Amino acid sequence: MTTEPVPTMSVQPEAVTDALRTLRDDAVRNAFELVEHLERMPPDEYKARHQDQLTAAADHARATMQPLIEWPGAAQFYLKIMTRDSNYTRVRRMLDFVLPGDRVLDIGSGRGYLSGVLLRDSALKTYTGIDIMDSHLASARSMIDANELGDRPAQFEVKNIYDLTPEWVAQHDPSLVIMLEMLEHLPDAEEGLATIAKCLPPDASLVFSVPLYGRLEKVWGHLSRFDVPRIRRMCEQAGLHIQHVEIIYGTWVLIMATTADVVDPRALYLARQEQPPASGRNTPIQEFVSVVTKRARLAKARGGARRVELRTEKDTTHVAVEGSRNPFGDQSGGLSFDLAGNDAVRLELEFEKPRNVRRVVVELVDDAGVPTARWVWRCGSPLRRSPFKYRRTFLLFPGQPARPFRPDGPVRDAVATRADVYIEVFPTRSAGFGLRRAAALRTRPA
């Protein structure tokens, strides 16, 4: 018996190149979409939602990179800033961009923290740092002495970014040009980036960062804001092809670009680097705890309604409210049920004679009977078409709108143990609602 050879598919180099370019462009596009999403998110909200990821990134940085030894030339405030979680994470991430044998040109090298880490922990071949302030370079040289890095291939020079020429850059023959937290300090960021692009060797990578739009804008030395359209436009005008985009600690947008449109091998190298875990801690468990609606009871009387009745049919508890002739009274009635959690409440309601309802109110109440959160749905006049057509489910988080409900009043930092749901009817009119299902969202340790 003869064995047929297994057929193989011959892949041409052009096909591989096209596939890699497609993957790169998709990754860049998706990264920019994330940047645009975060641009619209206030910093405090971002930290609240992503604190676990930020903590994991900082823990990873501290576990894989030792801090530099303090040196006389660095002010205490500088060392304090550079060892904060945000900056420490940023510096650690830059180690992942350095290939063995890289010749690094660091534009705006500053007082030397990144310089020291790159010289100590990466396998670079040469390092050149430039800055416009001689005092910064003096600090960097002091850092080298204090950290015993005198045998490393480092040199520093006072130079303005606008004075760079292709000839000067070619003398140092960089394979990696770094420009972190520089562009926002320049009076003309576009010209600064274009100057670097003109000097960039054909096979070199440029890595630069700018503050995420809406971040670090209280810093007096920052002269520009950078959103995604501006970043893209700057690179295009400078003749740069974006190879990689990422967000550092929810604070900076980091871009890697080249003058050539071929896929940068450095991008593939980055993909193989160890990444911090998605979450460094056990996040709390959030779960919905169902309410037995049959145990719902009439809420405390709220005003001058003529009649408020409660009845239970199968799994639904109904409330009927009949308004009086008093045009000034609060014609309200509703029900109460106990909560097993106060992070949110989920309700399924259906309404009877909904056109007679003036408003619907939901309150979370603590043991003292004081509301901790409140929502109001104002339905309008009896001539207006009622929005109620069928039963609906509502999910209400304290302080957040949930159309057609709107938050009403402050949110108190207290534990709610009860929910009140009631309706207000027009005078002499009658209406009602049924609570079909209810659940409370609670948080507990993992």
pLDDT of residue 93: 95
Asked if residue 6 is part of any domain, the answer here is no
Out of 239, 271, 303, pick the residue that ends a domain. 271
49-87 pLDDT tens trace: 888 889 999 999 999 999 999 998 788 889 999 999 999
- Domain range for 161: 13-271
d(CA 176, CA 443): 47
Comparing CA positions, the residue from 347, 337, 333 lying closest to residue 395 is 347
Whether residue 181 sits in one domain with residue 324: no
pLDDT of residue 218: 83
Whether residue 296 sits in one domain with residue 217: no
Asked if residue 7 is part of any domain, the answer here is no
Residue 151 pLDDT greater than 60, yes or no:
yes
| Single-letter code of the amino acid located at 208 | F
d(CA 295, CA 338): 9
108 contacts: CB under 8 Å, gap ≥ 6: 130, 131, 161, 179, 180, 181, 182, 185
Whether residue 319 sits in one domain with residue 386: yes
Whether residue 141 sits in one domain with residue 23: yes
d(CA 92, CA 82): 11
Asked if residue 2 is part of any domain, the answer here is no
Whether residue 208 sits in one domain with residue 136: yes
Angle at 255 between CA 253 and CA 256, to 5 degrees: 160
Whether residue 266 sits in one domain with residue 296: no
82 within 8 A of 181, measured Cβ to Cβ: no
Asked if residue 4 is part of any domain, the answer here is no
pLDDT of residue 106: 97
Task: Report the CATH number at residue 74.
Answer: 3.40.50.150
Confidence of residue 8 (pLDDT cuts 50, 70, 90): very low
Out of 271, 299, 326, pick the residue that ends a domain. 271
Please report how the helices 113-121 and 134-146 are oriented relative to each other, as an axis angle in degrees rounded to 10. Answer: 40
| Single-letter code of the amino acid located at 427 | P
Task: Report the CATH number at residue 299.
Answer: 2.60.120.260
Q: How much is the mean pLDDT over the chain?
A: 89
Asked if residue 281 is part of any domain, the answer here is no
Whether residue 338 sits in one domain with residue 224: no
Number of domains composing the chain: 2
Q: How far is CA 417 from the centre of its chain?
A: 32
* 373-402: average pLDDT: 79
Whether residue 233 sits in one domain with residue 291: no
pLDDT of residue 2: 46
Place of tokens 């990821």: 53
Whether residue 343 sits in one domain with residue 245: no
Confidence of residue 387 (pLDDT cuts 50, 70, 90): low
Q: 389-394, long-range: CB within 8 Å, 24+ apart, which pairs?
A: 390/350, 391/348, 391/349, 391/350, 391/434, 391/436, 392/348, 392/349, 392/350, 393/346, 393/347, 393/348, 393/437, 394/346, 394/347, 394/348, 394/349, 394/362
Whether residue 322 sits in one domain with residue 260: no
Asked if residue 293 is part of any domain, the answer here is yes
Whether residue 227 sits in one domain with residue 81: yes
Residue 280 pLDDT greater than 60, yes or no:
no
165-174 pLDDT tens trace: 999 999 999 9
pLDDT of residue 254: 97
Asked if residue 279 is part of any domain, the answer here is no
How many other CB atoms are found less than 10 A from the CB of residue 279?
13
Residue 3 pLDDT greater than 70, yes or no:
no
* 339-343: average pLDDT: 87
429 within 8 A of 306, measured Cβ to Cβ: no
Residue 281 pLDDT greater than 60, yes or no:
no
Asked if residue 277 is part of any domain, the answer here is no
Whether residue 251 sits in one domain with residue 151: yes
102-148 pLDDT tens trace: 999 999 999 999 999 999 999 999 999 999 999 999 999 999 999 99
* 414-440: average pLDDT: 93
* 248-253: average pLDDT: 94
Confidence of residue 443 (pLDDT cuts 50, 70, 90): confident
221 contacts: CB under 8 Å, gap ≥ 6: 184, 185
Confidence of residue 6 (pLDDT cuts 50, 70, 90): very low
d(CA 245, CA 257): 9
Out of 242, 271, 300, pick the residue that ends a domain. 271
pLDDT of residue 104: 97
Q: How far is CA 70 from the centre of its chain?
A: 32
